[in-house]
Each structure stands twice: as C-alpha cells, then as structure tokens.
C-alpha cells in the first residue's frame, strides 16, 4: 500500500492533463485528483510562447490555463516542479521525484514533447535558443534585446511565428530551412508560398534548401553557417526543428509504443495498461473520424480535446475520440491559418477563393476524398471540411468544381 492514494493521477503539467482535470470535475468526479508536472508553472497555453507572450504583449499570467484559485476551488491538487519517475501499471503506483509514492485508481499519461536539438558545431555558443516553455520565451526576449539580426533555423510554424514576432520587435529576421517553401511539409508548397510571401513582404529574408552546418562566434553566436557555404550574421538564433514525444516514462512503464512513435491507444485513448489513458503530443490513437487509421498529432486543440475524452473514459463513459484535429498558426497581426486534417499524403489540391486577396481555402484530396483543408479568412469552410473528411465521401467532378467555386453553397457537396 502506498503512503498516499488518489483516484485520478494525471502525469504531465501541460494542456492535456489540465483539461482532463477540468472535465473530470465538470462531469462529476468526486474523488481525489492529483496533477503532477515537471515545470514550475501551473499548466499554461504553450502557443503564446511564440506569439503575444514572446512579443511582451501578455503578462506571465495570461497564458495560464486557469487562475491559481480555480485549482483550489476545483479541489485539484497541483504538484508542480515534480517529475513522475516510475509508473508501475500492475500495482497502480507511481514514484515521484519528491520521494513520494502514490497509488492511483486511474491515470493519464500526458508527458508531451521535447524540442529536437541539432548537435552541430558551435551549438554551445551563447544566444542560441530553442522554444518550448515560457522560460524559453523569456530567455529569447532577453537574448534578442541587443541583437539586430536574428536567424530562425527551420521553416515550420515555430520558425515562421517567431520570425514574425521578432520582426514586430524591430529585429531583422532570416529563416534558414531545408524546405523549398515555408510550411510546405505540413501544408504543401501552394499554401506555404502564401505564408512565405507574407513573411517576405514584412521584411523576413527566407533561405530555402539550406542545411545547417554550424554556428560561428566567440563566446556568443555571431553567424550561422550552412552546408552550401552561406554565412548569415546573427547576434541571436532560435531553432525550431520539430519535437519528439517524451516517452521515457511510458517506455519504462512498459506501455505499448505505436508505429508513429507515440503511446499506442485505442479509439477511447486507453493505453495497453489497464486504467492508463494517454492524451496530447504523446498519444497515438485509432481515429474513428479517419476510418480507424492510427494518428498522432502535436497540436494545441488536439491536446485540449483529448484531455476531455480521456476524462470521460476515466469516468466509464466508453466514448471514442471523435474530434477532427484542428490546428491554427498566427504570424503576428499579418495573417492566420486554420487547418483541419491531417492530410499526411494527398494527390490533389483545390483552391477556393483568392490567395492574392489573402482569403482562400486549400482543399487536400487523396483520390476523390477530402483529407484536409487549410483556410485563411474562410473559417466557415472548415465545417464542410470536417463533414466531408469524416464521411469519407468520394467526390465527382461537379463536387470538386464546387470546392473551387468561392460562391458555391458547400452544404450540398457530398450530401
Ligand atoms: C512555442 C509553441 C507554440 C505553439 N503554437 C501552437 C499553435 O499555434 N497551434 C497549435 O495547434 N499548437 C501549437 N503548439 C503545440 C501545442 O502547444 C502542443 O501540442 C501542446 O502544448 C501539447 O500539450 P501536451 O499537454 O500534450 O504536452 P506539453 O504541453 O508538452 O505538456 C507536457 C508537460 O508534461 C511535463 N512532463 C514530462 N514528463 C513528465 C514526467 N515524467 N512527470 C511530470 N511531468 C512531466 C513536461 O515538462 C510538460 O510540462 C505550440 C507549441 C509551442 C512550444
């Protein structure tokens, strides 16, 4: 018997855990809820780290999931600055870094992801940053204070958002990336080109097809060097090279790991161990809205909604996770994208509206089916995308024509 017993143990101090805690209470859970998180802060919304908070437009409290009093009112115990070091799913116990052992009835594992580090020459120089936490955002703000030129390594949404935010702070920003076009890995070159032009119009220099070779400088970074021989002056660097799910605890606990590199779960987000659910960046699940296909996604909205589904299933509701994954990204006040999917692979793109006017939807089709949609300024299209994606409807040429027609009534498409 452990020194302490709780009904619900939520492992990880991010959004997935926080929203799970919230929905446990909203749906009437009476028992003890303990949320254990490694970071010092109570759960917060990470997206602000590259947006308003990075630009200094938000206080430290604004990204919080909920104010401090809310956790007390909800009788949810928050153990921050604490790591779960061991999970014994047979005995249903967890060991914590504060030397406590906790027995649990049901557990959520939501340990999130860590940034992928690039071990190139000169990585030890000062003023080279990665971005995952509020603390990282503070360090970047401080590090760029004296900098005129900042290089962003990576052309995905983190690199693009940070370039936009730091440009707003008066820095001259360049993006160095392997891709030919920003954001093309997730959204293809057509949509990516729109965002690249948006960045360039605001003064961001973009260097495509470049492989990072290393950093030069003495003590502090002075330039970024690529394999092709390009050398860009930089007094600060921010690297956005993707993340890897934090599976250390899950592996040690013997949880099944899926082919996509996440904790393998069924459609209810139940892992291979009885009483253990997973949610957020580490969760690989059978998605009913994708015909049972396994998916794993590192997006805010997914972590949020999976936290809720996990809570419902901890309460025995036996519900599949049926939310179509949604993603958004904001480039300062220049533009914003919304996306439902994920497409993974597609063989046709159809544009609705005008990229020149900055109001369009990009439909992604695999065969004759809509598998994703990205929109700028046409949010209403996302409802149709969700419906078409979930129904898996095969579209004929007429229906495809409607997707391209900015004035068509899409409620008739695929009906
Ligand atoms: C700068 C930035 C901007 C972003 N912007 C967007 C955006 O615009 N749109 C979007 O859709 N998504 C965005 N995301 C992604 C989104 O924030 C993540 O998908 C989401 O935070 C995942 O939540 P999570 O709870 O699964 O994991 P995390 O947020 O990673 O939380 C997991 C937590 O668990 C802790 N932990 C790990 N192991 C243990 C352990 N053994 N014991 C205790 N605690 C542990 C970690 O320290 C961490 O605090 C952004 C991410 C970043 C970093």
DSSP assignment of 34-100 equals EEE-SSSSPPB-GGGGGTTTTTT-S-SSTTBSS-HHHHHHTTEEEE-S--EEEEETTTTEEEETTS-
For ligand 1, the distance from its centroid to the CA atom of residue 255, given in whole angstroms, is: 20
Pair of tokens at residue 50: 């590259």
The pLDDT score that the predictor gives to residue 414 is 85
The pLDDT score that the predictor gives to residue 1 is 63
Q: What is the DSSP letter of 257?
A: B
Going by C-alpha positions, the residue among 375, 271, 388, 267 that lies closest to residue 326 is 375
For ligand 1, the distance from its centroid to the CA atom of residue 179, given in whole angstroms, is: 24
For ligand 1, the distance from its centroid to the CA atom of residue 91, given in whole angstroms, is: 28
Ligand 1 atom closest to residue 12's alpha carbon, by position in its atom list: 34
For ligand 1, the distance from its centroid to the CA atom of residue 177, given in whole angstroms, is: 23
Per the CB < 8 A criterion, the answer to whether 112 and 14 are in contact is yes
Q: Is 274 exposed, middle or buried (0-12, 13-18, 19+ CB in 10 A)?
A: exposed
For ligand 1, the distance from its centroid to the CA atom of residue 163, given in whole angstroms, is: 20
Per the CB < 8 A criterion, the answer to whether 269 and 317 are in contact is no
Going by C-alpha positions, the residue among 376, 372, 365 that lies closest to residue 399 is 365
Per the CB < 8 A criterion, the answer to whether 386 and 369 are in contact is no
Taking the C-alpha atoms of residue 16 and residue 303, their distance in angstroms, rounded to an integer, is 5
Per the CB < 8 A criterion, the answer to whether 235 and 150 are in contact is yes
Phi, psi of 280, rounded to the nearest 5 degrees: 85, -150
CA angle 193, 198, 204 (to 5 degrees): 105
- Low-confidence stretches of the chain (pLDDT beneath 50): none
Q: How many CB atoms lie within 10 A of CB 28?
A: 7
Distance, first Cα to last Cα, the chain: 57
Helix H or strand E segment including 8: strand 4-11
Give the binding-site residues of ligand 1, using a 6 Å CB cut-off.
11-17, 36-39, 46-47, 49-50, 83-84, 110-113, 131-132, 158, 246, 249, 280-281, 298-301, 303, 327-329
Those residues whose C-beta lies under 8 Å from the C-beta of residue 159, and which sit 6 or more positions away, are 152, 153, 175, 177, 182, 238, 240
Taking the C-alpha atoms of residue 164 and residue 153, their distance in angstroms, rounded to an integer, is 14
């Amino acid at each position: 018997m452990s020194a302490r017993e709780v009904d619900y143990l939520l492992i990880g101090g991010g959004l997935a855990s926080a929203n799970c805690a919230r929905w446990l209470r909203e749906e009437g859970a009476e028992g003890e809820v303990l949320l254990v998180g490694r970071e010092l802060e109570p759960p917060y919304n990470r997206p602000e780290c590259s947006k308003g908070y990075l630009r200094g437009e938000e206080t430290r409290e604004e990204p919080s999931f909920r104010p401090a009093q809310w956790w007390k009112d909800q009788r949810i115990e928050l153990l921050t600055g604490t790591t779960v070091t061991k999970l014994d799913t047979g005995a249903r116990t967890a060991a914590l870094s504060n030397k406590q052992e906790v027995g649990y009835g049901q557990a959520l594992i939501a340990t999130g992801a860590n940034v992928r580090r690039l071990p190139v020459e000169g990585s030890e120089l000062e003023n080279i940053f990665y971005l995952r936490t509020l603390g990282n955002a503070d360090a970047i703000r401080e590090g760029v204070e004296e900098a005129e030129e900042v290089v962003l390594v990576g052309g995905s949404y983190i690199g693009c958002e940070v370039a936009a935010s730091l440009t707003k702070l008066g820095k001259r920003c360049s993006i160095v990336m392997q891709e030919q076009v920003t954001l093309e890995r997730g959204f293809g070159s057509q949509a990516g080109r729109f965002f690249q032009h948006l960045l360039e119009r605001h003064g961001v220099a973009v260097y495509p097809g470049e492989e990072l070779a290393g950093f030069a400088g003495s003590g502090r970074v002075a330039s970024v060097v690529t394999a092709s021989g390009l050398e860009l002056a930089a007094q600060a660097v921010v690297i956005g090279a993707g993340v890897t799910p934090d599976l250390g605890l899950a592996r040690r606990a013997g949880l099944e790991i899926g082919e996509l590199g996440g904790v393998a779960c069924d459609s209810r987000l139940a892992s291979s161990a009885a009483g253990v659910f997973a949610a957020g960046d580490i969760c690989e699940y059978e998605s009913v809205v994708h015909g049972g296909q396994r998916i794993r996604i590192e997006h805010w909205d997914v972590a949020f909604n999976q936290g809720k589904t996990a809570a419902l299933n901890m309460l025995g509701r036996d519900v599949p996770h049926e939310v179509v994954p949604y993603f958004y990204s904001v480039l300062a006040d220049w533009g914003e994208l919304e996306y439902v999917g994920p497409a993974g692979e597609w063989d046709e793109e159809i544009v609705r509206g005008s990229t020149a006017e900055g109001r369009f939807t990009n439909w992604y089709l695999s065969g004759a089916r809509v598998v994703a949609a990205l929109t700028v300024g046409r949010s209403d299209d996302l409802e149709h995308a969700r419906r078409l994606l979930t129904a898996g409807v095969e579209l004929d040429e007429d229906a495809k024509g409607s997707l391209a027609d900015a004035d068509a009534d899409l409620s008739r498409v695929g009906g």
